[in-house]
Amino acid sequence: MFSRNDFNIWSVLKNCIGKELSKITMPVVFNEPLSFLQRMTEYMEYAKLLRVASEQTTPLERLKYVSAFAVSALASNWERLGKPFNPLLGETYELTRPEFRIICEQVSHHPPISAFHADSESFRFHGSIHPKLKFWGKSVEIQPKGIVTVEFPKLNEAYSWSNVNCCVHNVIVGKLWIEQYGMMEVVSHQHGMKATLNFKPSGWNNKDLHRVEGYITDRNKRKTHFLYGKWTEFIKCTDYVSYEEYVKENAHKFKRNADDRSKSPNESPGNTPRKVLSKLNSLKMSSFKSLSIQEPDDPPEPSEGDIPKSDSTYSIDIPNSVTLWQAESRPANTAEYYQFTNFAMSLNQLEEHMKQPRALCPTDSRLRPDIRKLEQGDLDGAAAEKTRLEEKQRETRKKSKKGQEEPVIFPRWFKQDINPHTKQEDWIYKGGYWDRNDDNLELDIF
């Protein structure tokens, strides 16, 4: 990672309060060397949970593991404070692993929409994400709009859910930290069951930091199981009777006092203190650091810029619980490499077979020169290439509007259609990517 100490983020963000950030050009120093398509592929780090789900003998057990997969998809976000590169229209990313293969494509530029389709012998996983970013004065809120769907074709079953919001705190003053918050409903379409998960905001005493709690209900809306854990670490499940008995003996771990209200992550501009705003124009980014890279001479941060610490005294371990998912440990040097997991570190790797002619689709994110240069440590080169690609994309759109050239029609691999399970409009994979022939196509987006 490059140090972000000498950059004044306020000079970029001061005109963006309450607005979407998708059209704001951020300095490349705030990026991480991955495209959003690659970042989206990190859903699949724990794809084995879907295989395990498909092997369960009852719909209830399958719902448990699908719910665990839905939570596990967010684990790599913890401490990931770099912004992924915005994909270009028509950009793709493919990944093949023993458990799955996945194809992603940027299907829309305005608004930015990314679609993906993963499959294996036992499951299909697909969806589209329209990320919305808003700056609220002290925090940046990311809303991952869109629905994702898991199908088990051999069982004729489907499950769907929407991801929860994410908030990056202390973007101006203090140490950056991140939390996920909101409600997630994992719906079993064929069996009428549902897992309702509450990703809790940190709260004033921090006992809820990272906590996820929820219930599985049957088609009669009767609670049958309790799910709990931390989206950064693990998810467990127990039967509802065991949960009720545990609550009776440990009520203090679940009840909140009147003064123990959660801080709202959505801080409106009106809640930004005047004393903070008055200093921002002259403020350098000495406080814009990864929270895991703390130099010994760091001065104490103001209290309003503190990072919450999880309170271990509120740990929960209910009898008769089964661990559905546990996060893999990160590399020892992860703080020096954008807080990447082992899985994330592999995503931009150009393997030997990919270097053969026409082995990799010419629109693949691995071939983007700006991402590659940032990965290699060439910050100026990455910034120059990022600007060149953005200008090239604008010029291509102008020419196509004027009819000066016949552009390749994007998207190539997805089409807008109705998701048969959710009955909502979605981007559905058309097929053909893995058998494509790019020989006669001019796919020069980079």
- For the range 117-122, what are the long-range contacts, defined as Cβ-Cβ under 8 Å and sequence gap of 24 or more? 117/413, 117/414, 117/429, 118/43, 118/44, 118/47, 120/47, 120/50, 120/51, 122/50, 122/51, 122/54, 122/55, 122/152, 122/154
Neighbouring-strand partners of residue 238: 226
Number of domains the chain contains: 1
The CATH code of the domain that includes 36 is: 2.40.160.120
In a domain, residue 28? The reply is yes
Structure tokens at 78: 């913890």
Give the domain range for residue 413: 4-251+305-429
In a domain, residue 256? The reply is no
Cα-flanking dihedrals φ and ψ of residue 95, to 5°?
-150, 130
In a domain, residue 84? The reply is yes
128-155 exposure pattern, b = at least 16 Cβ within 10 A, e = fewer? bbbbebbbbbbbbbbbbebbbbbbbeee
DSSP 271-283: GS-HHHHHHHTT-
In a domain, residue 244? The reply is yes
In a domain, residue 365? The reply is yes
In a domain, residue 409? The reply is yes
Positions in the chain short of pLDDT 50? 257-303, 312-313
In a domain, residue 282? The reply is no
pLDDT, residue 397, reads 81
In a domain, residue 62? The reply is yes
Extended beta strands in 231-383, E state? 234-239, 322-326
Neighbours of 333 (CB within 10 A): 9
Cα-flanking dihedrals φ and ψ of residue 170, to 5°?
65, 40
> Is the bond leading into 59 cis (omega within 30 degrees of zero)?
no
Cβ neighbors of 115 (< 8 A, separation 6 or more) are 104, 105, 107, 126, 127, 128, 129, 411, 414, 427, 429
Residue 370, H or E segment: helix 369-375
- The pLDDT tens digits of the residues spanning 121-145 come to 999 999 999 988 887 777 888 888 8
Predicted TM-score (pTM) of the model is: 0.85
pLDDT, residue 309, reads 63
